[in-house]
Structure 1
């Protein structure tokens, strides 16, 4: 068998060049397939997340009221809506209530959730059934949970005050009508709602920790709290980061529970930034001011997430 000589003036293409060209074409096809798979998700995010955020920012810079729906005119006012929001007499109390509500809810949810997750890590009869029942508060519509807790916390006919009377507390506690107690009641209900979320994630993290680490630690005397501090906590830290960040972001925007229980009262004792945004938009119909409140809330959530994740990454690196 003979090899045909290359035409005069032309040299045969090296085999390596053809192989590299084929690899590049295969790589481009692979990237195209990946882009096609990602396109629906990217389009969804742009339509249902990107557009509302941009629209909200634009609205916060306009005088957007009910008249705008009829005339189509929304005069540009710049930062005037933010000045109105920050200069409101309810802004400082709303900021304080938001901080107290968030810190109280996150602390309660996380501590109780970690304790319950640690309890369910041990195998015992009906553990799976009880874990599934624990998800019930998370699955119920928040307006249903709020209505149920409103009846439980009623000063005169509520089950909680009846239970406390049996324990010797004679004076009924005005859970939802006293400015000094209402925020505590709202925090308590939000803790109840958020415990299943914490338990679900923390339980999954605890199950991923190898039992061999505890066995090796026990040989060195690391049992009980020592085992938790030196074995459980370091291995659970990535899950804790996710739980805390998502918990804070979710808690900052809680609205249904507060509206269902107190509607921001009594005497504005449970006013938060989320409630202020709702009331300015759908009670006072000042949509621009309401958008400014919501953007302030988004900014707070973003700053917290970035700062916490960076601090946690630095702690892991060290």
Structure 2
């Protein structure tokens, strides 16, 4: 039987008396260097990601927290030296008359937008699983609102909902309905921005939910049909439970996105009239950048409250997912 074990390399070394002494080559040092070189390679790959997270996530969060704990002015914002005020800015925000309406508008805007986006997106995803003629073309057309820049979409809706020359009021006029002040009425301004946000968010829900539906085996539907299940029963007993993980991540991403929506509301109504469509995102922007004398501290405090809201919902999602995995 041949011995496959390789003997260690040896080399001749001259002793003090000139005699040749055979010694083993230092392979142990070479083998010890390999793990260290692998660690350096791993750190080299992690360095760009770490730098990106620090520069674009950790440092902005730190600066936002620092702004909310100090009394910054325009001068101190540039030159530094703002005095530390602790939680005073948060107290100012909580006692501001705008806090209550802004919180209510944020919740209503987020919940209603998510409900309609998810429901319509689910209905369209189930509809397009029929694979009829021109289904691919129609799916591509539904992606247009998602592909357009937000400033274009918001400007388009502002024009369509204009009280005097908008397309929507023109249609209502031909239908014998009185025109509606969509953007200038406190009763309709929040409804207007919700409609625009729902229109923009439907394609995202459609794409994600349609991808989830494609992963469900057709044999399950065939077995349900053999058991006598109708279309609604197949959806409620088969499609919806199997689509629950995809639905959860869709709702979570939609929630985080909707909480921080600024472009649409600011372009269409700027949070008005009379703060009737002000949310935490628009309020924070207005405090920090929308006035000649910006209030950096309170604006950052409102932004941090928005971050906390998103973090709470994210932790709730993780907890629900763990319960579903252990169940």
Task: Mark yes or no: TM-score above 0.5.
Answer: yes
- Bigger Cα Rg: 2
Match of 1:311 in 2: 320
Is it true that 1:296 corresponds to 2:308 in the alignment? no
Distance 1:38 1:220 in 2: 53
1:86–1:120 Cα change, 3 Å? same
Distance 2:39 2:119 in 1: 45
Alignment of 1:157-236 (within 5 A): 157-169=165-177, 171-236=178-243
1:31–1:218 Cα change, 3 Å? farther
Distance 1:52 1:71 in 2: 18
Displacement of 1:312 in angstroms is: 4.2
Deviations 1:155-206 (A, max 9, x none): 121111111223331x101111111111111101000011111111111111
1:229–1:27 Cα change, 3 Å? farther
Distance 1:264 1:216 in 2: 52
Unaligned runs of 5+ in 2: 9-27
1:70–1:237 Cα change, 3 Å? closer
Q: TM-score, normalised by structure 1?
A: 0.88
Unaligned runs of 5+ in 1: 5-17
Is it true that 1:75 corresponds to 2:83 in the alignment? yes
Is it true that 1:62 corresponds to 2:76 in the alignment? no
Contact persistence 1:241–1:309 (CA under 8 A): no
Distance 2:114 2:47 in 1: 36
Is it true that 1:256 corresponds to 2:263 in the alignment? yes
Is it true that 1:48 corresponds to 2:56 in the alignment? yes
Aligned with residue 112 of structure 2, among 104, 123, 126: 104
1:33–1:212 Cα change, 3 Å? farther
Distance 1:98 1:299 in 2: 14
Match of 1:89 in 2: 97
Is it true that 1:268 corresponds to 2:275 in the alignment? yes
Q: TM-score, normalised by structure 2?
A: 0.86
Higher mean C-alpha deviation, range 206-215 or range 225-234:
225-234
Quote the RMSD (CA, aligned, Å): 2.2
